[in-house]
Amino acid sequence: MLETTLGLEIIEVVEQAAIASSKWMGKGEKNIADQVAVEAMRERMNRIHMRGKIVIGEGERDDAPMLYIGEEVGFCTQPDAEKYCNINELVEIDIAVDPCEGTNLVAYGQNGSMAVLAISEKGGLFAAPDFYMKKLAAPPAAKGHVDINKSATENLKILSDCLNRDTEELVVVVMDRPRHKDLIQEIRNTGARVRLISDGDVSAAISCAFSGTNIHALMGIGAAPEGVISAAAMRCLGGHFQGQLIYDPEIVKTGLIGESKESNLARLRDMGIENPDKVYETEELASGETVLFAACGITPGTLMEGVRFFHGGARTQSLVISTQSKTARFVDTVHMFDKPKVIQLK
């Protein structure tokens, strides 16, 4: 039972990553903000009584020093683990992590960054390549009705009907990228409103599943690994999520690993992906019997507050979602650091 054994632990994992990263908020150092989050997440993860394997992490080609694809984490993966763990009785789990989702947001003190992870049984999360992904996220009421193969105009009409709202009342989140110029114009032509974000589309995707966020859809192209993490959350929440891998550098212009469309197609074949244009449904990206998602706000966002420091401690707000208990829990935590020194006034 993943939730009962790991529920509190994974909350603490994302909390520690968020606290570490938030200390670099507004300092213009996005790489350091990411690095300290990675270190804090890994350190806490390795104290959990589990056997975990990173399937989405800090570097597909294993060039990251920690939390890289394929790295084994958890107390029971240590060399002498058999002294403390009954290895054969522990369920192997797959883990997808983004210790600092929205590094630029942290570096420049902007809203919407968070530490996130998703876990499931071995084989329960799609090991997405470090490519881009066309994404469509929508509320539970629209699940199975909107379709990534339809135009934005068609999907907004369907969404309007499903939510019983005028199209003019709908808000669509889109990453602010040159590749989305035509998409943004099409959305605006329907009368719907566009909320542009610079980074952090996981938060935007899962916000669609919560009423009251005033976010009704996520459309456009973003990173594929974050698409799997979004799908894990949406699987728990019953929301709509579809993803389609983008392997042509000409579509996204920058950011893809690989020099050409042909080399990227060859990489996909090597990974066993025979149909590169396949549209992945939520249940295919997060297929495990049990899926858990956890996030902690680093900077303030739509769903969660960011880390707030006070003398001697900090306060965090986290979200943990589970297919097992069918719950979405917001957790407000006060962290008490080492007792501050008493200053003697002369």
- Structural contact between residues 299 and 24, judged by C-beta atoms closer than 8 angstroms: no
Distance CA 304, CA 317 (A): 6
pLDDT digits (tens, 9 = 90+) for 93-145: 999 999 999 999 999 999 999 999 999 999 999 988 888 999 999 999 999 99
Instruction: Return phi, psi of residue 185, to 5°.
Output: -65, -40
DSSP state of 99: E
**pLDDT tier for residue 61 given thresholds of 50, 70 and 90:** very low
**Range list of H helices, 128-209:** 152-163, 181-189, 201-207
> Which sign does the torsion angle of CA 140, 143, 145, 146 carry?
positive
Per-residue pLDDT reduced to its tens digit, 263-288: 888 888 988 888 999 999 999 999 99
**pLDDT > 50? residue 204:** yes
The answer to whether the annotation marks 201 as part of a ligand binding site is no
Q: Which residues pair with 171 in a beta bridge?
A: 193
| Burial class of residue 234 in the structure, from the number of CB atoms within 10 Å of its CB (0-12 exposed, 13-18 middle, 19+ buried) | buried
| Residue whose pair of structure tokens reads 């597909």 in the numeric block | 60
Kindly list the structural domains of the chain, giving each domain's residue range(s) and its CATH number in brackets, ordered by start.
Answer: 5-122+292-336 (3.30.540.10), 132-285 (3.40.190.90)
SS3 209: coil
94 is an annotated ligand-binding site residue: no
320 pLDDT higher than 80: yes
What's the pTM value of the predicted model, to 2 decimals? 0.91
34 is in an annotated binding site: yes
**Under 8 Å between Cβ of 232 and 319:** no
